[in-house]
Structure 1
């Protein structure tokens, strides 16, 4: 899932709940995070292409890219964990 528990650990759905309301919410949040990352990437490329971009704008773009990268990594980790769960059940 694209969020962490109160102690900062990744949150995971229990096996067998992949089609439930929490899974649908997680999918929706992940989709939004990926769309946001694509938008930030598009904007950042435009800023970086401008040799006269002010330092404040470059810093802001860098900060936003870091936020989006962290979200995308969380999504990838979550999806990777789901893939590995599928591997375990397929081999059982």
Structure 2
């Protein structure tokens, strides 16, 4: 099994919005593949929202309610992307070769 510093932060939250972690020796196991798939969906959604936001900002006739809705979606997507970045950054840090002094 993995050591505690090698736990993978999963791209979803548990009860009370607490982080969920995966401990496995199999990066190709079901839960790892599920997490990879959800991360890919989250990143794709963020890309689509970014494109939509750019279009909305270029128009003058967007309602305040429309802007609020877009900002709410962007906030959720940014939270998802942040979680993916933290998880992947942690995985890189734990898998990088350590320097000898």
Q: For residue 51 of structure 1, what is the aligned residue in structure 2?
A: 60
2:31 is aligned, of 22, 38, 56, to 22
Unaligned runs of 5+ in 2: 1-9
In structure 1, distance between residues paired with 2:50 and 2:73: 9
In structure 1, distance between residues paired with 2:68 and 2:43: 21
User: Once structures 1 and 2 are overlaid, which stretch shifts more, 20-29 or 48-57?
Assistant: 48-57
- Displacement of 1:7 in angstroms is 4.4
Aligned partner of residue 13 in structure 2, secondary structure: coil
2:45 is the counterpart of 1:36 = yes
User: Cα 1:84–1:3, aligned 2, differ >3 Å: closer, same or farther?
Assistant: same
- Point out the structure with the larger strand share: 2
- Point out the structure with the larger helix share: 1
Q: Give the count of matched residue pairs.
A: 90
Unaligned runs of 5+ in 1: none
Q: Does the Cα contact within 8 Å between 1:37 and 1:65 map onto a contact in 2? A: yes
2:98 is the counterpart of 1:91 = yes
RMSD of aligned residue pairs (Cα, Å): 1.7
1:75 is aligned, of 84, 89, 96, to 84
